[in-house]
Amino acid sequence: MHRVTWLSLASLVVPVVLAAQQPTAPHDSVRGAIRAVDTRARTLEVTTGVGLALRVVRLQVPAAVPITDQNGAQSAPINLAALKPGDVIRVSFGSRPTGFVAYTIERLGRMAAGLR
């Protein structure tokens, strides 16, 4: 009887433990313009084009996420507060139960102020 109980318990616990040990690799990326930055909540909203429509992706940005600025051939580390609306970025991210979470952020440039 105890053997059946242990086997039942193991069949419930083992898949959870194995899933927790697997690394979370980025499963998607987005390239677009920053719509909003909230440094207190550590979130970004990125506007990107999808077909003929626009899409806004809201991302959580953990403190350990590397953020870089691409200046020509060089890249320099920057912090979240350096990102501003209108910056063009590329973000690799993954999905978690709490929403999308950024893994890397690269600032590629800045949108032009206006077109005439």
- Phi/psi at 29 (5° precision): -145, 155
Arithmetic mean of pLDDT, 80-94: 95
Whether 115 shows a pLDDT value over 70: the answer reads no
d(C-alpha 44, C-alpha 59), whole Å: 5
Residue 7 identity: L
Burial of 44 (C-beta count, 10 Å sphere; 0-12/13-18/19+): buried
Tokens found for residue 14: 């083992």
pTM: 0.72
Indicate whether 89 pLDDT > 50: yes
67-71 and 99-110 beta bridge pairing = parallel
23 pLDDT above the threshold of 50: no
Contacts of 58 (CB under 8 A, 6+ apart): 43, 44, 45, 99, 100
Q: How do residues 25-82 score in pLDDT, each as one tens digit?
A: 557 899 999 999 999 999 999 999 878 899 999 999 999 999 999 877 788 899 999 9
